[in-house]
Structure 1
């Protein structure tokens, strides 16, 4: 049994054989600590992964690795990979066997000045974990996809949030598949008091108006007679108040 993941100060995952996990979970339950089983195929990030590591490293050596173009948080070391550095196949073997230091990696990225975090995945799980690690009014957590929600809606919501915060969006690239025109240079928020109304033409041409004689009333009204039952068909005694309209 081993610690598999440290997601935050109050969220830790342990992995191992079920026979070893059961007494530990029972003890945590007796202490009032909430636990939950994770249904997975293997006990990842634990000694149970060691038999496959030689083959895994052999497969990892077949991959061509490129230097990092942006800083990248590393879950194995909890540090940041600098631009220009390259990961080795051995790193991914350690990643499969050792604990995931998610909280440390997130804090390392935050120390580098990162305040906006975009999660790429089918449902926002890491955003919730990240909020428990880093707290503050200046942090933004954005999902891309959300279970039960239209994919396009989720992507546009996050893109709109980034645009409101001042990020430059390549709208021409965004609209290229749709072949539609794009308005450029509009203010990102309503507090920029600059008007964008179309200027009126220099000369105005009067529009002819119709006279009363040109408006035939028969086009707007249609007389209709409605057949009502005769008085003889009504009950002999009729109660209530009646209002009768008639000609002179």
Structure 2
């Protein structure tokens, strides 16, 4: 179990608050508490509450007694709540919500304010997160003082007109219009004649002669067909002449 000392000015929810409870009760006795208009889960009782929150005694108990935060979150989860908005100066409780829920829960907890961020930016970010979670929000009230107006979005970006070549997945396709000849092959769609150099020698392998060629000087190998893909098809490895690693005659190699 992890513990951490709270950075607070007073030891709330502890016996150290006893000397101020009577004075606190008198201070809030003249406040008129409104009847709840929505469901309310109390962190004092860890359950749904109704009219008891309208009495000063309830709030005096809230100062002195333990906080049943985990119980309150579990009750909300059982009621089907999937989005939590924290109204406070920082995002401490939002992080604690995740610790109170099951690992497979997909609920989202968002703080309305953050200590190191401007209030307006934090509130707008929280509002956007709630909308992304399909939470019903009063958008008109949100933009009432901003002077925002509705505009028509451009349609060209949403016309869903594809520009990709319509070719079935796994199909070779017909590329003969590119100036190359067709070929009956499951992977290659066309064949291109390789610009071979001058034959140097004919090396027999079994009963099949294979010509070994010299690549023309200054001609870079840039096409895929020159890099072994088509070469393997035209000259299978079983019939290709073995390459000698012996330096050519008349050339001397030296290393420092």
The residue correspondences of 1:63-82 to structure 2 (distance < 5 A) are 63-82=31-50
**How far is 1:89 from its partner?**
1.0
| Bigger Rg, structure 1 or 2 | 2
Instruction: Show CA shifts across 1:36-56 (max 9, x none).
Output: 333433322122222222222
1:115 aligns to what?
A: 82
The residue correspondences of 1:71-150 to structure 2 (distance < 5 A) are 71-82=39-50, 86-135=53-102, 136-150=104-118
| Partners of 1:126 and 1:132 in 2: CA distance | 10
Instruction: Please say if residues 84 and 109 of structure 2, whose CA atoms lie closer than 8 Å, have aligned partners that are also in contact.
Output: yes
**How far is 1:66 from its partner?**
1.0
**How far is 1:183 from its partner?**
4.0
| Partners of 1:148 and 1:127 in 2: CA distance | 16
**How far is 1:175 from its partner?**
2.4
| Partners of 1:195 and 1:62 in 2: CA distance | 62
The residue correspondences of 1:94-243 to structure 2 (distance < 5 A) are 94-135=61-102, 136-183=104-151, 195=159
Instruction: Please say if residues 84 and 108 of structure 2, whose CA atoms lie closer than 8 Å, have aligned partners that are also in contact.
Output: yes
1:17 aligns to what?
A: none
Instruction: Please say if residues 53 and 59 of structure 2, whose CA atoms lie closer than 8 Å, have aligned partners that are also in contact.
Output: no
The structure 2 residue matched to 1:55, chosen from 20, 23, 33, is 23
Instruction: Show CA shifts across 1:92-131 (max 9, x none).
Output: 1111111111111111122222111001122100011111
| Partners of 2:151 and 2:140 in 1: CA distance | 10
TM-score by length of 1: 0.55
Q: How many residues align?
A: 156
SS at match of 2:149: coil
| Partners of 1:90 and 1:78 in 2: CA distance | 17
| Partners of 2:13 and 2:20 in 1: CA distance | 12
Instruction: Please say if residues 127 and 143 of structure 1, whose CA atoms lie closer than 8 Å, have aligned partners that are also in contact.
Output: yes
TM-score by length of 2: 0.54
User: RCO (CA 8 Å, sep 6+): is it higher in 1 or 2?
Assistant: 1
